[in-house]
Structure 1
């Protein structure tokens, strides 16, 4: 493995782990706040215990997310010094503001965790809301920085120099809204289905059913709404990508030849040497319609883009297909659940629906990982789209492959430790929060 590939692999590994912690850290506080609100309004101690149980998970993921996010920040400077030298002054503002949001989140989480019985009950609840809001803002600011890499703005590039820098325009670039919206909905869907799936499994196993039913319903509603809205944000993102990054769209769809009435491809194995896609299902004219709302609209193919600017087609296409496939399954689960809430109440207690949610437990995070693969691989060979190539930004320092191996070992160990802690937390729920009609246990 050469140093360039090792540097890219290390960033991919770090981002792949961090994005899971980030999504949960952005979303779980809102679940926690809803459960807490229900307890304050109803006095039902089940909701209090759900809140306390979830807050422990939030603390675990906040700690691991803080560490992995810090590592990512250092890696940007260590692995891509030429990128940070030029880009840092331009898109540094969202990173600075993200640091402020992170500090607010940390303070609010401390207040919440140690505020039981010490603060006014509504102020205590409000600190939990602040944890969620600041975490969400933090995620949006980081996505804005990534969006700038896809849609550079806020400067003039003249004779190899970056001049007339405007950090506000850089932060609010053309891609920030579509990427932030898509990422936020993805975080709610992924975390919602993961949390709902765990509680659904406990219900199916008849373990502390009252506790897990309350928790499941909160997470499932968030998950269902996010999964149903996600295709709308995906449509906005696709139209945006078609306009700004036609090479990425062409790779996503394995679209080799510019033309009109372009079909939407489902599945398939792209062959870059022959510029064909084998074993694909084609829906005539649908890609043209989705991009331009016209079945006869022209869509640029890879043949209209210089070959040296082509992203890796196979990886981008497969990742996009996985993302969309997982999203469709989750949307189906969401629709079924909302129908159950609205018209078919008996579905809510049926094993088939609960088992469907159990199956959906990992799908959201698989879709998130695939989506980030599309975003990052689909931008190649550019680290700043159209301005700086990734190969020109990498550090000249040798031995990056050893760093990659070390970080792989560290992250694998971290994954095992976090999995063990969460498994232990789930197993302890019954002991700490034994919710039965006879016990009425409210504290541990």
Structure 2
């Protein structure tokens, strides 16, 4: 394997693995805080058991995320030293603040896990809320750093030198808000549907129904709200990409020719050689409207961009199609669930609705992975958009392929360990927090 491809592949595997734990760290503590708050308000022991069960899962995933995040930070320096040499002083602030947020999250999680019956009840709840807020802050700060790579600002690039550095402007670059909003809602939707799907499965299996139904109500509602808001954030992101990164938008839609009334392409097989999309469904004027808010306005095609600056069209297009397809399916499920809550209460006890949530369990995370492929692959061949090419930033050190194999083995091993620990935790939940057990109160 070529060292450049190996370096990119290693970062792809690392980011793909870590993003799952980042989403969990941004969202699960809020589910935990909601359950804990209801327990404090009502004294219902089911919510106390649920909070404890979720907190143990958060601890497992937090530890794994800390390992993968640390590995990522080393990889940035080892695999992309030229990038870090020049970019580090510019966008280092969000990474430094993310480290601070991480330590706050770790300390607060420790207080929460060991604070039961030791801390004042409301102070204990606040420590759990801090876990969620610091986890959310960590995610947003990392996204701000990534947004800077898509929309570099806070410096002047003169004769190959980076001058007049402004870290604040770099952190709050033109892309940070749209990316942070989109990522936050994606995290809530993905994690919410994953967790509610697992609890729905347990309800269908008739195991600890009271416990799992309680968990399902909290997570399903949060997931559905996020899923219905996600298309709005997607529209904001699309308009932002159309303005700043026309090549990425063109690759997302396999849009080869600049034209007004540009159609939105659904599906299809892009052919970069012939500059066509075969077997696609085209919705007239929709791309122009989504990109510019005006169906008459032209959308820049790849024909206006030098071939050497094209992103990989096929990968970007397929990833984008997968992301929006899954996003729309989850939004449809969210709409059905909200109808059930408001007008069709009998649906809530139906097995078909629970089965839909079980089917949706992995969809959110698959959409998140596809979205990051669009973000990262769609930016190529640039590591800093319009300033530094990815090929110019890679380390000259040989043997990167072996590093890729080693890191991949580590991530596969971590995945197996996490699955084992979470499976064991799920089995313990039934024994410790079964609301039908006479000993439940003592647990």
Please indicate, yes or no, whether the TM-score normalized by the shorter chain is above 0.5.
Answer: yes
* 1:28-427 map, 5 Å: 28-427=28-427
1:441 corresponds to: 440
User: What's the offset of the Cα at 1:292?
Assistant: 1.5
Query: What SS does structure 2 have at the residue aligned with 1:22?
Result: helix
Query: What SS does structure 1 have at the residue aligned with 2:281?
Result: strand
Alpha-carbon distance between aligned partners in 2 of 1:123 and 1:301, rounded to the nearest angstrom = 56
User: What's the offset of the Cα at 1:440?
Assistant: 5.8
Q: TM-score, normalised by structure 2?
A: 0.99
Alpha-carbon distance between aligned partners in 2 of 1:128 and 1:121, rounded to the nearest angstrom = 11
User: What's the offset of the Cα at 1:339?
Assistant: 1.0
User: What's the offset of the Cα at 1:443?
Assistant: 4.7
Alpha-carbon distance between aligned partners in 1 of 2:43 and 2:329, rounded to the nearest angstrom = 36
Alpha-carbon distance between aligned partners in 2 of 1:292 and 1:375, rounded to the nearest angstrom = 20
- Sort the Cα spacing of 1:440 and 1:217 in 2 relative to 1 into closer, same or farther, 3 A: farther
Alpha-carbon distance between aligned partners in 2 of 1:73 and 1:128, rounded to the nearest angstrom = 26
Alpha-carbon distance between aligned partners in 2 of 1:46 and 1:284, rounded to the nearest angstrom = 53
Query: What SS does structure 1 have at the residue aligned with 2:395?
Result: coil
- Sort the Cα spacing of 1:102 and 1:435 in 2 relative to 1 into closer, same or farther, 3 A: same
Across the aligned residues of Structure 1 and Structure 2, the Cα RMSD in angstroms comes to 0.7
Alpha-carbon distance between aligned partners in 2 of 1:124 and 1:31, rounded to the nearest angstrom = 15
Aligned residues: 443
8 Å CA contact 1:261–1:297 kept in 2: the answer is yes
Alpha-carbon distance between aligned partners in 2 of 1:297 and 1:341, rounded to the nearest angstrom = 41
8 Å CA contact 1:264–1:283 kept in 2: the answer is yes
Alpha-carbon distance between aligned partners in 1 of 2:75 and 2:197, rounded to the nearest angstrom = 34
Bigger shift: residues 149-158 or 341-350: 341-350
8 Å CA contact 1:49–1:442 kept in 2: the answer is no
Bigger shift: residues 60-69 or 425-434: 425-434
User: What's the offset of the Cα at 1:295?
Assistant: 1.4
User: What's the offset of the Cα at 1:442?
Assistant: 3.5
User: What's the offset of the Cα at 1:62?
Assistant: 0.4
8 Å CA contact 1:57–1:422 kept in 2: the answer is yes
Alpha-carbon distance between aligned partners in 2 of 1:222 and 1:440, rounded to the nearest angstrom = 31
Q: What are the Cα deviations for residues 173-212 of structure 1, in whole angstroms up to 9, with x where unaligned? A: 0000000000000000000000000000000111110000
User: What's the offset of the Cα at 1:377?
Assistant: 0.1
Give 5+ residue unaligned stretches, structure 1: none
User: What's the offset of the Cα at 1:428?
Assistant: 1.5
Alpha-carbon distance between aligned partners in 1 of 2:434 and 2:117, rounded to the nearest angstrom = 21
Alpha-carbon distance between aligned partners in 2 of 1:443 and 1:387, rounded to the nearest angstrom = 62
User: What's the offset of the Cα at 1:290?
Assistant: 1.0
Q: What are the Cα deviations for residues 381-406 of structure 1, in whole angstroms up to 9, with x where unaligned? A: 00000000000000000000000011
8 Å CA contact 1:258–1:303 kept in 2: the answer is yes
- List structure 1 runs of 4+ shifted beyond 4 angstroms: none
1:13 corresponds to: 13
User: What's the offset of the Cα at 1:369?
Assistant: 0.3
Q: TM-score, normalised by structure 1?
A: 0.99
Alpha-carbon distance between aligned partners in 2 of 1:97 and 1:346, rounded to the nearest angstrom = 48
Query: What SS does structure 1 have at the residue aligned with 2:267?
Result: strand
Alpha-carbon distance between aligned partners in 2 of 1:255 and 1:9, rounded to the nearest angstrom = 26
Alpha-carbon distance between aligned partners in 1 of 2:357 and 2:438, rounded to the nearest angstrom = 29
- Sort the Cα spacing of 1:217 and 1:114 in 2 relative to 1 into closer, same or farther, 3 A: same
Alpha-carbon distance between aligned partners in 2 of 1:262 and 1:365, rounded to the nearest angstrom = 30
Give 5+ residue unaligned stretches, structure 2: none
8 Å CA contact 1:228–1:335 kept in 2: the answer is yes
Alpha-carbon distance between aligned partners in 1 of 2:228 and 2:322, rounded to the nearest angstrom = 17
User: What's the offset of the Cα at 1:120?
Assistant: 0.4
8 Å CA contact 1:48–1:442 kept in 2: the answer is no
Alpha-carbon distance between aligned partners in 1 of 2:441 and 2:333, rounded to the nearest angstrom = 33
Alpha-carbon distance between aligned partners in 1 of 2:377 and 2:78, rounded to the nearest angstrom = 20
Q: What are the Cα deviations for residues 43-68 of structure 1, in whole angstroms up to 9, with x where unaligned? A: 11000000000001100110000010
8 Å CA contact 1:227–1:330 kept in 2: the answer is yes
Alpha-carbon distance between aligned partners in 2 of 1:276 and 1:3, rounded to the nearest angstrom = 32
Alpha-carbon distance between aligned partners in 2 of 1:417 and 1:251, rounded to the nearest angstrom = 37
Query: What SS does structure 1 have at the residue aligned with 2:248?
Result: helix
